[in-house]
Copies of this chain bind each other. A is one copy, B any other.
Amino acid sequence: MAVNLSLPDNIDIMNTLDIKNMSLFASCNEADLKLLLQAPHKLNVYRKGQVVIERGTPCLSLMVLLSGKAESRLGGDEGREVIVESFRAPRLLAPIFLFAQDNTMPVEVRADDGTEVLFINREAFFEFMRAHPSVLRAFLGMISERGRFLSDKVRSFATKNLQSRISEYLEIHGGISSVAMAAEHLGVKRPSLSRVLAKMLAEGSIKKDNSKRYILIKK
C-alpha cells in the first residue's frame, strides 16, 4: 500500500537534498527548495508492481521519482499493452500531462520495489517556476524533450517493422537481457520477438555476448 507520511521539517530537508540533484532544480539553492517544499506535498513509498497513478486518474501534482524505478504503460482497451518507458530516479514522472485541461492520465505508472515518489501541488509549482525563470526554462526543456520522445515512439510504431524497431532498441538500450521485457517495450508478443531475433542472428546483424544478451554487431 502507498504510505502517506506527514513529514517534520527536518525530513523535508532530506528531500531537499535528493531533489537538489535533479537538473530541473540545478539552479536552485537549498533555501529556494525549502520554500518549494513548504507547499502542499506528500511522499509515497511503493512496492514492486504497485500502481503509482492509474490511467484515467486526474493528475494535479508534479510527480518526482526520488528513488527506485518505475515504468509507464499504455493500452489495455483490447488486451494489448505496451511499456512506453522505464524510469530511474531522479526523474519527473509524466510531466508532460501536468498542465493539460483534461489532465486525466493517459498512461499508467507502476513502481518497482522501494520506490519513493514525491507529489508537489501543481499550482505551487507553477508559482515557483514564475519566481525562478531558470526552473521554468528547464521545465519547458524537459517537456519538449518528452514531446520528442513521444514523437519518436509514433515514428517507430507507425513507420517501422519489428526488425527496424529491434535495431533501434538495441542502439538505445545497448542490448536485450530479457526477451520478455523487450517484447513489452516493442509492443509485440514474445514468440514474435524470438523469431525475428533468430533471423537477425542468422543474418549476422546481432550476436549474443558473454552474458547471453543480444547485442548489435558493429560494422
A128 adjacent to chain B (CB < 8 Å): no
With A130-B136, A159-B74 known as contacts, the answer to whether A143 contacts B141 (CB < 8 A) is: no
The answer to whether A148 and B77 have CB atoms under 8 Å apart is: no
Q: Is A102 an interface residue (CB 8 A)?
A: yes
Q: Which residues of B are found within 8 Å of A206, using beta-carbon distances?
A: none
Q: State whether the Cβ of A187 lies closer than 8 Å to any Cβ in chain B.
A: yes
The answer on a CB contact under 8 Å between B147 and A75 is no
Known contacts A74-B158, A126-B140, A153-B158; 11 additional CB pairs below 8 A are: A74-B155, A77-B159, A96-B143, A96-B151, A97-B144, A100-B144, A100-B145, A102-B145, A150-B153, A154-B157, A157-B158
A6 at the interface (CB under 8 A from B): no
How far does the Cβ of A23 sit from chain B's closest Cβ, in whole Å?
A: 10
Give the chain B neighbours of A150 by CB distance below 8 A.
Answer: 147, 150-151, 153-154
With a 10 A CB-CB cut-off, give which of A77, A84, A140, A164 has the most chain B CB atoms: A140
- Alpha-carbon gap, A132 to B96, bound state (A): 21
Task: Verify B141–A99 contact, CB threshold 8 A.
Answer: yes
- How big is chain A's contact interface, by range? 35 or more
The answer to whether A211 has its CB under 8 Å from any CB of chain B is: no
Number of copies: 2
Contact B160 A78 (CB under 8 A): yes
How far, in Å, is A47 (CB) from chain B's closest CB?
26
Does A113 sit at the interface, judged by CB under 8 A?
no
* 8 Å CB contact of A144 from B78, B98, B126, B141: B98
Q: Which one of A98, A101, A146, A151 has the greatest number of beta carbons of chain B within 10 Å?
A: A151
Q: Are A148 and B106 in contact (CB under 8 A)?
A: yes
CB distance from A103 to the nearest CB of B (A): 7
Ranked nearest first, the 4 interchain pairs of A and B with the lowest CB-CB distance are: A96-B147, A100-B144, A75-B159, A99-B140
A81 close to chain B: CB less than 8 A: yes
